[in-house]
Structure 1
Amino acid sequence: MNPLFLAHGSPMLAVEQNEYSKFLQATGAKLKPDAIVIFTAHWETETVTISSKDDEYETIYDFYGFPDELYQVKYPAKGSTKVAALVGQLLSDKGIPVAYDTTRGLDHGSWTMLKHMFPIADVPVVQISVNPYRSAEEQYQIGEALRSLSEQNILLIGSGVTVHNLRAVKWGQKEPESWAVEFDEWLINRMNELDTKSLFQYEQLAPYAKMAVPRAEHLVPLYIALGSGNPAKAPKVIYRSYEFGTLSYLSLQF
C-alpha cells in the first residue's frame, strides 16, 4: 500500500468533475486499504495530534465564500481508535511526542479528496495534524516512523500542495507560471536522485522557494509522505497540472 502525496487544491474539488477529480476516482478504485492515515495541511498543532474515535466524523467547512452546494456535502467516514493507537505507538517508539483528539471532524484537506477516492466512506480514517515550524528533516522522520503502515495495508496520505501562494494566483489563467513549474521540477529531480540532503535544505537551494512556499504548512505533508515511502526507490509522479497559473496539483506515489 504505497504512501501518497495528493494535492487537495480548492475546496470546490469536492463538487467538481474535472481531470483531477477523475484521477482521484480512478486512484481510489484501485486501492483497497483497511484504513487511511491522512496528514492534513489544515490542522496545525505543536505536538503531532492524532484523531482517535470510532464513531462518525463531523464534516468541517473550514472555508468561506463558496457556493451553497459545497456546504451541503457530507463525508460520513468513521475513525479507528485501534489504528490511532498503532500510529501513536510507532511515533512514540521513535521519540516523537503525540497527543490524541477525540472530537475534531474532518477538514477539507481530507474530505474533499476522500469523497472522490472512497465515495461511500466505508474505510476508517485517522486524521493527523502538522506542525509547519518543524524542519523538513523532522517532517521526513515523522513519515519514516510510519513506514511499516504500508505493510499492514494502511494507506498513508500527505494532503497538501507543493506550490501554494494564494497571493500569486492568476485567476482564469490556464498556463502555469514558469517559476511554479521550476520549483516543482527541482523537487521532482531531487526526489528522483534520492537526494534528501538537498530536499531538507529546499528553502536555501530550490529556485523560487519563498515564492512557492511562503508558509510551509502545505508542503509539510509531502515530506511526511516521502519519509514513509521506500528510501531506496524514487517516487512516481502520478498527476501534475496547474490551476490559476500557480496552484500546483503535483501528486506522487512513494
Structure 2
Amino acid sequence: MTQSESSAEPIPPFPALFISHGSPDTVIADTQAAAWLKQMAEDLPRPRAIVVASAHFEVSGGVVVSADPKPETIHDFGGFAPELYAMQYPAPGEPELAGRIAGDLREAGFAASAADKRGFDHGVWVPLKLAYPDADVPVVSVSVDPNEGPEHHFRLGQALSELGAEGVLVIGSGSFTHNLGEAFKLLRRGTRLAEVPHWVESFTNWMNERLTASDVDALIDYRSAAPYAVENHPTDEHLLPLYVAMGAAGRHGTARLVHDSAEFGVLAMTMWRFDPPPATAAA
C-alpha cells in the first residue's frame, strides 16, 4: 500500500434514498423533480452498484432480486410520447450482488430468490436515466409485495442495511402520493401545475413531520394514522419503497427532505434521504 493510499479518507456509508419517480415522461419533462434528479448524483460519491426497490416490480409471497447480467429496458406504460418507447437504459446488472442480496434476505426470514430475465421497469430506468445518464453503474432491482404492508418493507430495508457501507446506493422508487384516478383527470387537461388540494397537502405534511421526527412506529401505521391516507394511496404499493429506504438506514437513521414539489396537483414528487446512524449507535 502506498502512502497516499494509506492516508486516504474512508468513504462514509452511502445514504438510502426515496425517490418519487412520477409519470414515465418525467425523463423528458421540464419539471422541478426532473431537475433535482439530474443533479442527484452530484451530492454522492460514485456508487459501485445501485439497488432499486421499485413500486412497479410487484411479487406476491416473496422477494425477487433481478440477476440478469444485461437487463432489458421495459416500457411498461401506454399513451405517452413515441420517443419514450425508443429510450434504452443499458446499465449492466450484477448477478453476484443479486445472489448475495437474496441470501441476506433469506437469512432475515424472507422467501427470496434471484431471477434473471427481469429488466428495468420505468420506476428504475426513468430516474436513473436522469441521475446516471451514462448507464455505467451496475443496477439490481428488488421487488415489493403488494399484499404486505410497511412493516414488512421496513424489515426488508433493514436486511439491506449493510450495503451502504460497501459503496452500494439503495433507492426506493415510488410516489409520495399516488391517486392515479385523480391524476389522470388533470393529465387529460394538460394541467401539470395544478393547485395541490387540501387532502394531498394534509397527508404530505403529516408524513413529512413524522419522517423528520423519525417516528417509525407512526409511519408504519400511516394507513390508520395519517389524514387522507386512503385518498392519497388507494393501494399502497407506491409508498412501500419509502419503507425499504427507511429500513436500509436503520431504525436510528436520520431523515432529510431533499426535494418537494407536486405535479397534476395530486402527485407529490417528494424525495427523502436517509443516513445511517454513526457506527457507535445501534442500527
Q: Report TM bin, short chain.
A: over 0.9
Q: CA deviation at 1:25?
A: 1.4
Q: Is the 8 A contact 1:52 1:84 kept in 2?
A: yes
Q: Is the 8 A contact 1:39 1:130 kept in 2?
A: yes
**Amino acid of the residue matched to residue 120 of structure 1?**
D
Instruction: Single out whichever of 29-38 and 4-13 deviates more from structure 2.
Output: 29-38
Which residue is 2:219 aligned to?
199
Q: Distance in 2 between matches of 1:233 and 1:126?
A: 23
User: What SS is found at the alignment partner of 1:75?
Assistant: coil
Q: Distance in 2 between matches of 1:219 and 1:4?
A: 13
Question: Are 1:247 and 2:267 matched, yes or no?
Answer: yes
Which residue is 1:49 aligned to?
64
Question: Are 1:107 and 2:107 matched, yes or no?
Answer: no
Q: Is the 8 A contact 1:29 1:118 kept in 2?
A: no
TM-score, structure 1 normalization: 0.96
Question: Are 1:221 and 2:236 matched, yes or no?
Answer: no
Offset from partner CA, 1:138-188 (integer Å, 9 cap, x none): 110000111111000100000000210011223414321121121111111
**Amino acid of the residue matched to residue 247 of structure 2?**
G
* Count of residue correspondences: 253
Q: Is the 8 A contact 2:32 2:261 kept in 1?
A: no
Q: Is the 8 A contact 2:223 2:230 kept in 1?
A: yes
User: What SS is found at the alignment partner of 2:50?
Assistant: strand
Q: Which has the higher contact order (CA 8 A, sep 6+)?
A: 1
User: What SS is found at the alignment partner of 1:87?
Assistant: helix
Q: Distance in 1 between matches of 2:266 and 2:229?
A: 13
Which residue is 2:202 aligned to?
182
Offset from partner CA, 1:68-89 (integer Å, 9 cap, x none): 1111111101100111122112
Larger-gyration structure (1/2) = 2
Which residue is 2:142 aligned to?
128
User: What SS is found at the alignment partner of 1:218?
Assistant: coil
TM-score, structure 2 normalization: 0.86
Which residue is 2:47 aligned to?
33
Which residue is 2:7 aligned to?
none
Q: Distance in 1 between matches of 2:250 and 2:142?
A: 21
Give the 5 Å matches for 1:9-158.
Answer: 9-31=22-44, 32-46=46-60, 47-54=62-69, 56-158=70-172
Task: State, as a whole percentage, how many aligned pairs show the same letter.
Answer: 36
Q: CA deviation at 1:122?
A: 0.3
**Amino acid of the residue matched to residue 48 of structure 1?**
V
**Amino acid of the residue matched to residue 18 of structure 1?**
T
Which residue is 1:8 aligned to?
21
Q: Is the 8 A contact 1:28 1:116 kept in 2?
A: no
Alpha-carbon RMSD across the aligned residues, in angstroms, is 1.2
Q: Distance in 2 between matches of 1:18 and 1:210?
A: 27
Runs of 4+ in 1 over 4 A off after TM superposition: none
Q: CA deviation at 1:19?
A: 2.2
Which residue is 1:235 aligned to?
255
**Amino acid of the residue matched to residue 42 of structure 1?**
H
Q: Distance in 2 between matches of 1:87 and 1:73?
A: 29
